Amino acid sequence: MQQTVTPGGYLGAVTLVMRDGEVVDYRAYGHRDLARHAPMQKDSIFRIYSMTKTVASVAVLILLEEGRIGLNDPVARYLPEFATMQVATGTAKAPTLRPAAGPITIRQLLTHTAGFPAGLPGDDAAAMLATRSDPQAATDLRDFVQRLGRAPLAADPGARFGYDGAGLEVLARLVEVVGGMPFEAFLQQRILDPLQMRDTGFSVPAAQRHRVVDITTMGERGQLVLDDGPSAMQPGARLRPYASAAGGLYSTAADYARFCQMLLDGGSLGDVSILGRKTVELMMTNQLLLDPPVTQFSDAEGFGLGGYVVIDAARRGQLGSPGQFGWSGAASTSYTIDRHERLIAIVMLQHLPRSDIDNDLPRISRPFYNLVYQALVP
């Protein structure tokens, strides 16, 4: 990690490793600002982007445990906007529509198998037609669902894994409708407050915004620059107009470790119970009813309810365990939970990688987790 934050590398990082419920390594490296003047602190605040999806999935599972929804329920039972979905085929220049082969279920939304456009081959027609309703311009979750419901799918529900954010935004609206309160309030009352995740939220209070880490990307001249998004210009501001379940949370390594420890401990942290043990087991079981049952990213990983599940550790080609669970965020944050090793490992950086250039910073999650696993003793 020290080598990662040398001049020309990442600005800084925070890592946290826990085993058997005890912190065994927790460190800050480098700096939190592009000028490299402010040292990174262990309590620095990061945009965790898609690591939000796991938290949102737990909110849905709370409703499942309460008997208010079922995994195989059609989402249209609660959100009628999805009652008559169509699938777009053909090309963007000559799209055609047909009725979807079946309804979208809550399980499919949780596992990215609902059929929304996901940048996969053959998605062009659906993606083009989706621009007409423009869900990304939504002002709140109700608006998002109404816009998305008018857009066609790219594939039949349950036919493929296609990673996207739309399904989680739909689930956030489902939580609002079934839970009877705004999604943000539900997360706060049912997850964040009970777990004492005091630095986690969809925005950062003004008095704490100095703790937010600068978010970088690689500039055209081969030097790190600030990202040009609104969050880079106003660190701590909301990432979307609404509480985005797909990627809207800020958090710290310590806060997210409490969330992970709750899952590792079977749904409880100390005397606080969020989920039951069997629900967490279900969450960390591969839910992909596909052949083969793997994601678009790895032929060794399936997907549970909110994160990847390692199904073939040897094929994956890095140290780990079958059943290992985790996910990452777009700006180089990631976590893993290994029930077999009673292990949690979290790495937080704040850099948006680019796939269109050759001189971007090297990805470090794989070597980081390999080093963590090499350090294990009985």
Hey, what are 336's tokens?
């893993």
CB 161 within 8 A of CB 290: yes
Q: So what's the pLDDT on residue 280? A: 98
Residues 356 and 314: their CA atoms lie apart, in Å, by 30
63-179 and 3-47+183-374 share a CATH fold: no
Say if residue 230's pLDDT is above 90.
no
Q: So what's the pLDDT on residue 231? A: 87
> What is the DSSP secondary structure assignment for residue 199, as one 8-state letter?
T
Say if residue 223's pLDDT is above 90.
yes
Hey, what are 378's tokens?
């009985």
| Residue 300 amino acid letter | A
Q: So what's the pLDDT on residue 84? A: 95
Q: So what's the pLDDT on residue 312? A: 97
Per-residue pLDDT tens over the stretch 29-86: 999 999 999 999 999 999 999 999 999 999 999 999 999 999 999 999 999 999 999 9
Which run of H or of E encompasses 328? Answer: strand 325-329
Say if residue 256's pLDDT is above 90.
yes
Q: So what's the pLDDT on residue 69? A: 98
3-state secondary structure of 31: strand
3-state secondary structure of 26: strand
Q: So what's the pLDDT on residue 28? A: 98
Which run of H or of E encompasses 374? Answer: helix 365-374
Beta-carbon count within 10 A of 130 CB: 23
| Architecture per CATH, 63-179 | Up-down Bundle (1.20)
Say if residue 334's pLDDT is above 90.
yes
The alpha carbons of the chain give a radius of gyration, in whole angstroms, of 20
Beta-carbon count within 10 A of 258 CB: 22
Looking at every residue in the chain, the average pLDDT score rounds to 97
Contacts of 110 (CB under 8 A, 6+ apart): 57, 60, 71, 167, 171, 287, 305, 306
Per-residue pLDDT tens over the stretch 104-134: 999 999 999 999 999 999 999 999 999 999 9
What is the arithmetic mean of pLDDT over 83-94?
Answer: 95
Q: So what's the pLDDT on residue 229? A: 86
> What is the DSSP secondary structure assignment for residue 153, as one 8-state letter?
B
Q: How confident is the model at residue 203 (pLDDT cuts 50, 70, 90)?
A: very high
Contacts of 308 (CB under 8 A, 6+ apart): 295, 297, 298, 301, 302, 325, 326, 327
What is the arithmetic mean of pLDDT over 175-181?
Answer: 98
Tell me which CATH homologous superfamily contains domain 3-47+183-374: DD-peptidase/beta-lactamase superfamily (3.40.710.10)
Domain boundaries, given as residue ranges, for the chain? 3-47+183-374, 63-179
